[in-house]
Amino acid sequence: MYKFLDFYEELLPHSREKYEYHIKDKFEKLNFIGQGVDDLLTLCQKLIDSYLTQGISGNPYLEIAAKFNADVHEYLERTIN
């Protein structure tokens, strides 16, 4: 019985350290991905604004950027609500 207790006492600090590292690493990766998506949305919106101020419509890049923006915003609304 005592050898099991000694094992758990040694295991707990390692487990806590690994758990905290995992949580921190996961948060950093999610934050990195979120920032990348935000940057991409900003670039798409700038592209859309640029084309629209120049009076260009029907351009395939404009359509792709507009669809991407709409799809991401729809996804965010579904997941937040």
Q: Model confidence over 8-39: pLDDT tens digits?
A: 677 777 788 888 899 999 999 999 999 999 99
Q: Considering all CA atoms of the chain, what is the largest pairwise distance in Å, rounded to the nearest integer?
A: 79
Q: What percent of the chain has a predicted confidence (pLDDT) above 70?
A: 89
- More confident position, 3 or 33: 33
The domain locations on the chain are 2-80
- pLDDT value for 25: 95
DSSP string, the chain: -HHHHHHHHHHHHHHHHHHHHHHHHHHHHHHHHHHHHHHHHHHHHHHHHHHHHTT--S-HHHHHHHHHHHHHHHHHHHHH-
Tokens representing 36 are 């990348």
Tell me the whole-structure pTM to 2 decimals. 0.67
Owner of token pair 């009076």: 55
Q: What percent of the chain has a predicted confidence (pLDDT) above 90?
A: 56
